[in-house]
A and B are shown apart, each in its own frame.
Chain A
Amino acid sequence: MRPRPPAMRTKRRYILVRIHPCGARVDQKQVYLAVIEAVTSLLGDAAAGLAQPAVVFCEEGYAIVRCRRGTEKDIAAALATVTTAADERIALRTVAVSGTIHALRRRMRPIRHLSMDEGVKIGETYFTAYRYPRQKVDLVEKGIKHQKSFFFTEADLEER
């Protein structure tokens, strides 16, 4: 089958979102399901169908959401209402909107741990501390499922 000529193809926009917290373990399908649920519940089936949202990339703490041109503002508003993906608490923060994935990839800055992850005890609970730039420390309860998370800074941790 011959591809459509460029002038007849649907015009798309790509939204780059950052997935918070940095250590969230969610894959592309889980993010897609969360996005579809948020878009459908906020805008309705008709608008969601016209906007054609899809997650085309999800790695390194970033995701790229594709939609039809002209609907990117509505989709960005819906992305702000995403609170969970696969039973994990997340937030999607819009970084940039572009007409090409290539332009968005240039806006991605890798999120790196600053040091080796270490154990911290708060009260009677043990947490693993993940350190990030700007003195951010994410504490994740040690365990298998439904772990608590706390979001501190280096100064807060030193006070304890």
Chain B
Amino acid sequence: MKITDAGMHPYPAGDSTVARMALEAGELGFDSVVVIGDAVCQPSSIEVLQGAAIGATSIKEVLKRVRDPAVRRADVVYVDAGDAAFNRAVVSIKEVNVVRSIHAARRNAFDHVAARTAAEQGVAVDISMAPIIHFRGTKRQRVLQQYADILSLQRRYGFLLTISSDACSILGQRSVRDIRGLCALFGMTGAEVTEALSTIGQIIEPHQPVRVVE
């Protein structure tokens, strides 16, 4: 079981390089990280996976973008959440691994239909720590409400969850213990956090029946 930070944005999007962020992530208790963006993955102390994020307004655009060579090369494909119809459609696309920025979508944009489809298709929903850390007041309250809502759907339908720091700097990265504390704010248990942190490993290497090779 690999504990993975499901999303970071290193230099040039942020102020810290991939190698430095990987070094810090190792010190904070992670076994691997997913780097989103144009940063070049270099060999480092922990495993660095390449992620591709698709920010699209229509399903047509998503279907076009997932065929892009850069997206095909990525280990994990993310799509930014949109309205309810968009989310229902996006979770049924085979190439999509994770739906992210769910906090930026409208409330109830990820509903029970999308949740059931996500569970069937093995698509995960990303919970970002950045809004909890950086937002204040009503904005953060809304994010916590939204995450609590996602958690209740996850407990009912059993789709996958991932947890990302969404850090652009080493100052935005948090330890596994801190993430447990922050997730407890919206009712997530320690076991659920551990399971969510190991989801990327399941996406990369899914559980499959044992094949007997003669």
Binding site for B on A (CB under 8 A): 20-21, 41-42, 73-74, 76-77, 79-81, 83, 89-91, 93-94, 134-136, 148-153, 155-156
Contacts and interface: CB of A to CB of B under 8 A. Distances in A.
Interface residues of B, number: 29
Contacts of B16: 150-152
Interface in B2-40: 11, 15-17, 19-21, 23, 28
A57 to B, nearest CB: 20
B171 A91 contact: yes
A152 B20 CA distance: 6
A156 B185 contact: no
Given A150-B11, A151-B16, A156-B17, A77 B170 contact: no
Interface of B: 11, 15-17, 19-21, 23, 28, 42, 132-134, 136-137, 140, 169-175, 177-178, 181-182, 184-185
Nearest to B177: A94
Contact of A150 (B15, B42, B136): B15
Given A77-B178, A151-B17, A155-B42, A41 B137 contact: yes
Contact of A156 (B20, B132, B170): B20
Contacts of B140: 41-42
8 smallest CB-CB distances across A and B, nearest first, come from A77-B181, A151-B16, A80-B178, A91-B171, A153-B19, A156-B17, A151-B20, A151-B170
Contacts of A152: 16-17, 19-20
A71 B171 CA distance: 25
A99 to B, nearest CB: 18
A26 to B, nearest CB: 13
